[in-house]
Structures are given as structure tokens and as C-alpha cells.
Amino acid sequence: MGKKALYDIALGASICLCLAAAVVCGIPGILRFSDETCGELLCGSLPRLAACGTLLLLLLRGDDAFLLKPRAKDFGRALLWSLPCLAVALANFPYAALIRGTAVVVRTDLLGLFLLKCLSIALSEELFFRALLLPFLKGLFASRRRGLLASVLLSSAAFALMHLVNLLFGAGLGATFLQVGYTFLLGGMFAVMLLETKNVWLCTLTHFLFDVGGMLIPDLGKGAFQDPVFWALTAAAGVLCCVHVLLTLRRMWKAEGAGRS
């Protein structure tokens, strides 16, 4: 059996596993857990982990497999550029609320499973929206004058609109549209981050840290955590990162224009 045939079998099996995990975890009543929190974390992780396998196989087959193998000699420069983005992720942690006791982590026993859920979200979304969709759009609009900007905006919009699915699971209308707004900005940050660093793993790490900070209390704890300190840190990191990302995007845009002339 040839290499291509083995790859096709692995891809087909991965897609079937992904669909099965989505059905089993997505339809109420199929899986029953005595511990509701544990069940929610598992059902939030398994379909995404299965999807990661499929996405990795698609990436390895395509022209953008190099994104999975960043060059070690460029890592220092990539990490340095990424510091403002990492600041946004770290600002999302409920430092003041935990110190003051206005929020507490109750289920420390499920911390490992919670981290697995956050990793599955970050990895699956970065592999799809940044490593697959963004390069596809960039190639699609390569001949356009503002192709780079269009690819960043469209991939960010797709990432943001994907969160509308939360309405099907009982999320409030206002909270969902707020999430769509800030995930559009995050999508732009991650898109420029990938274009600049060529390192999907740095994007995944930043996304993972952001989700850990933002979901720690809702998933494992109780109390109010978005206090004035939280918003002050978020605003400061957000403004710094926004300027950093826009300047980088402007430089890329100029380089793209110079390449056509």
C-alpha cells in the first residue's frame, strides 16, 4: 500500500472520529456524567481534539506544512515580536479577584481536564482559522491590491462569527455579540501574529493562555472576576498590542505593494 493511500485512510478515519465525537458529545443524553462539571469539560474537549487530528493531516498534505515546523533560529525574534500579544493573554487572568477573594477556584481537582479543554480550543481554532484558512485567503487575494488586508479581515470575521453558535447553547444575545466583537479583534491579532512569526505554536500558546485566564472562574470557580483591575490591565495591554499589530500590518502592506511595483 502506497504512502498516499495510507494518508487517505488516516484522513478518512480521522474525519469519522471527529464526526462521531461531535455527535456523541453534542446530543444531550448520549453521555451521562455523575459530575456535571467534569462532563462539560470532557464534552468540550473530545470533539475538538478529534478535529485537531484531521486539521493536522490536512496541513501536512498541503503547501503550508512549514507552519508546523518553525525554524529554531527565528524563535527568539518571533517571541520578542509576540510579547505584546502575550501581554493581552496574560491580562485576561483574574489576578485581583483571586487575591481579594471576590472570586475563587472551587474545582481544583479538575484543573488538568480544564487545561486540556483550553488547549483543544486553542489548537483546533488556530490550526483551522490561522494555519489553513488565512493562507488560503491570502493566496486567493494574492493578485488584489489590498489582498493581505482582505485575508486578515475575512479570516478574523469568520473566527468571530463562528462564536454565534453559542446562541444555540443558551448564551445570551448581548454576551454573544460582545464575544463576536472582541474575538474579531483577537482574530486580527492572531492573523498578523502568524503572518509575522510563521509560528502557529506561538499563536496557539497565546490563545491557550487567553482562554485559561478567561474561563478559569466560569468553568472551575465562582464569583465576580471582571473588576476594575481586570479592565485596566485589559485596556492597557489591548491598546499596546493594537498599535503594535497595526504598525506591523502597515509594514506588511507596504512590502506587498513594493513587491508588485
**Which residues have C-beta within 8 Å of that of residue 210, sequence separation ≥ 6?**
88, 89, 92, 122, 186
Q: How far is CA 126 from CA 30, 182, 240, 245, in A?
A: 29, 16, 22, 18
pLDDT tens for 233-254 read 999 999 999 999 999 999 998 8
| Coil vs helix vs strand at 170 | coil
The two most distant CA atoms of the chain are separated, in Å, by: 65
pLDDT tens for 90-111 read 999 999 999 999 999 999 999 9
- Give the mean pLDDT of 49-56: 93
Residue 236 and residue 192: Cα distance in Å, rounded?
20
pLDDT band at 147 (very low <50, low <70, confident <90, very high): confident
User: Residue 207: its pLDDT value, please?
Assistant: 98
User: Residue 261: its pLDDT value, please?
Assistant: 60
pTM greater than 0.85:
yes
Residue 139 and residue 137: Cα distance in Å, rounded?
5
pLDDT band at 1 (very low <50, low <70, confident <90, very high): low
pLDDT tens for 181-232 read 999 999 999 999 999 999 999 999 999 999 999 999 999 999 999 999 999 9
